[in-house]
């Protein structure tokens, strides 16, 4: 299973094993990681699963769809590498991916 690392705003780093086919958000929630809220459960309607995908990984995932782009306009502290983790599907190619969670979700 791919390993995905989440780094909180305070620098705390945690790596989880993610199941193929689940969302990156679900991989974090299964381990009760802080930094992601995921109020809507992955339906792209809350934006509380916002995270910053490490620059080394942002080009390796599919671009955001229209619904995700619309929701990203609602997040605080948006950056060029902002994504909604519920919209990123875990694939073998994501092994080693690093994301940072925003201060607004601490």
Stretch 54-83 residues interacting with ligand FES (CB under 6 A): 71
47 binds ligand FES (CB under 6 A): yes
49 binds ligand FES (CB under 6 A): yes
Q: What is the enclosing helix (H) or strand (E) of 70?
A: helix 66-72
44 binds ligand FES (CB under 6 A): yes
Q: How far apart are CA 91 and CA 104, in angstroms?
A: 28
Segment lying near ligand FES (by CB under 6 A), choices 7-15, 34-42, 54-62, 75-83? 34-42
Q: How far apart are CA 26 and CA 85, in angstroms?
A: 8
């Amino acid at each position: 299973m791919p390993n995905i690392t989440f780094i909180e705003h305070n620098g705390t780093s945690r790596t989880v094993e993610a199941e193929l086919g689940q969302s990156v958000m679900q991989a974090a929630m299964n381990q009760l990681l802080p930094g992601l809220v995921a109020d809507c459960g992955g339906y792209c309607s809350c934006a509380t699963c916002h995270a910053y995908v490490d620059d080394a990984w942002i080009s390796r995932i599919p671009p955001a769809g229209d619904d995700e782009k619309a929701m990203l306009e609602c997040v605080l502290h948006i950056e060029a590498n902002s994504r909604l983790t519920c919209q990123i599907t875990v694939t073998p190619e994501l092994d080693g991916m690093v994301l940072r969670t925003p201060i607004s979700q601490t």
